[in-house]
Amino acid sequence: MASETIPQPPGGAINIAPFKTDVHPVWCPGCGDFGVLTCIYRMLATKQLSPENIVIVSGIGCSSRLPAYVNAYGFHTVHGRVLPVATGVKTANPNLEVIAVGGDGDAYSIGAGHIPHAARRNIDVCYIVMDNEVYGLTKGQGSATAPVEMVKGTTPFGQLDDPLNPIAMAIAYDISFVARGYSGKPKELTELITQGVDHKGFALLEVISPCTTFHDTYKPVSQRIRFVDASHDPTDRLAAMKLALEKETIPIGVIYKNQRTSFSERIKTTQERSQAKGTPDFNKLLESFQ
């Protein structure tokens, strides 16, 4: 299929209709994931990407239903396996725009083991993690990011485990683009998603996306968020880690960047070097074992 850009209306308006499907989201009223979905629509429309050149990969959970709501190729994987599949898609066809989506349970619990290796490879994928601190699809148990004081049906005396700090973890793994957004700030979130998609390498975008049914944090989060100061240097890893470890406020924005060679670029270089050596002689290989 020939690639065609989506026409946009004059006057600066954004036409997101071509990126919507006939499938109606089944999220609860007020779910933060609605805001994230709208921001993805706006990013796709602003960049005028063609649906046939976009692949959205998801795992399991409320947020992982998202590919069904976007007019693009979608791959709904098994629990926690977003990054291996996204890596495979991007490796098979580097020309595709691959966006990975999921929740904190999918990303930071069963899928957490894939994150450091995606960071090592620096896969050219933007991973949008919608974090609500609970497993919303299975009645609101605390996730890997749940605070110790959170009381739920399965943990009536609070959580037994300390919460992960996804931003600090991402910086420690040297993920080449690390940012935090908030579904309640759509303008800023759209810009962060755009930057993450444009980044050449692995981008992890942690999005605070409250669950209105099991863990409504809109009010406390709105009171604690602050935008990253314009003076912050995202290439300063120590400064980025200090932001990640803040307790009183929740910094929103680009926190860390380390531009380096992507996995796709390394594969291309390896292929070129291999082809330059010519076609291998299989008989010579067999003779080497004699």
Tell me the mean pLDDT in the region 120-137: 96
Q: What's the whole-model pTM score? A: 0.93
Tell me the mean pLDDT in the region 60-80: 96
Comparing CA positions, the residue from 26, 55, 61 lying closest to residue 40 is: 55
Residue-wise pLDDT for 195-234, tens only, equals 999 999 999 999 999 999 999 999 999 999 999 999 999 9
The per-residue pLDDT for 1 is 35
Q: How far apart are CA 175 and CA 171, in angstroms?
A: 6
Which tokens sit at 286? 């067999």
* Whether pLDDT at 237 is above 50: yes
**Residue bearing the bigger pLDDT, 278 or 57:** 57
Q: How far apart are CA 37 and CA 99, in angstroms?
A: 12
Instruction: Find out whether 107 and 86 touch, Cβ atoms under 8 Å.
Output: no
The per-residue pLDDT for 217 is 94
The per-residue pLDDT for 278 is 87
Instruction: Find out whether 30 and 212 touch, Cβ atoms under 8 Å.
Output: yes
**75 Cβ contact partners less than 8 Å away, ≥ 6 residues apart:** 55, 56, 57, 58, 67, 85, 89
Which tokens sit at 15? 């036409």
For residues 79, 147, 197, 62, the Cα torsion angle rounded to the nearest 10 degrees is 40
Dihedrals phi, psi of 132, to nearest 5 degrees: -120, 5
Q: Please give the C-alpha separations between residue 100 and each of 85, 88, 163, 235, 288, in angstroms, as whole numbers.
A: 9, 12, 23, 24, 44
Q: How far apart are CA 197 and CA 43, in angstroms?
A: 9
The per-residue pLDDT for 5 is 57
Quickly tell me which residue has 């292929």 as its tokens.
271
Q: How far apart are CA 79 and CA 60, in angstroms?
A: 5
Dihedrals phi, psi of 234, to nearest 5 degrees: -70, -15
* Whether pLDDT at 11 is above 90: no
For residues 249, 242, 199, 105, the Cα torsion angle rounded to the nearest 10 degrees is -60
Residue-wise pLDDT for 92-107, tens only, equals 999 999 999 999 999 9
Residue-wise pLDDT for 255-285, tens only, equals 999 999 999 999 999 999 999 988 888 898 8
Average predicted confidence (pLDDT) for the chain: 94
Q: Please report how many Cα atoms fall inside a 13 Å half-sphere around the Cα of residue 7, on the Cβ side.
A: 2
Q: Which amino acid is at 146?
A: A
Query: Per 3-state DSSP, what percentage of the chain is helix, strand, and coil (rounded to 5)?
Result: 40, 20, 40
Tell me the mean pLDDT in the region 110-115: 97
Dihedrals phi, psi of 159, to nearest 5 degrees: -75, 145
The per-residue pLDDT for 175 is 99
Tell me the mean pLDDT in the region 233-256: 98
- Please give the share of the chain, as a percent, with pLDDT higher than 70: 96
Q: How far apart are CA 117 and CA 91, in angstroms?
A: 15
290 pLDDT band (50/70/90 cuts)?
confident
The per-residue pLDDT for 10 is 56
Q: What Rg, from alpha-carbon coordinates, does the chain have?
A: 20
In sequence order, the β-bridge partners of residue 210 are none
Extents of the domains making up the chain:
25-287
187 pLDDT band (50/70/90 cuts)?
very high
The per-residue pLDDT for 78 is 95
Tell me the mean pLDDT in the region 149-165: 93
Comparing CA positions, the residue from 77, 72, 83 lying closest to residue 60 is: 77
* Whether pLDDT at 114 is above 50: yes
Tell me the mean pLDDT in the region 114-121: 98
* Whether pLDDT at 3 is above 50: no
Comparing CA positions, the residue from 229, 234, 233, 219 lying closest to residue 252 is: 229
- Which region among 37-41, 52-56, 68-72, 152-156 has the lowest average model confidence (pLDDT)? 152-156
Q: Report CA 272 to chain centroid distance, whole Å.
A: 30
Which tokens sit at 30? 């007020």
* Whether pLDDT at 88 is above 70: yes
The per-residue pLDDT for 139 is 87
Q: Does the domain formed by 25-287 have CATH 3.40.50.970?
A: yes
Q: How far apart are CA 182 and CA 235, in angstroms?
A: 22
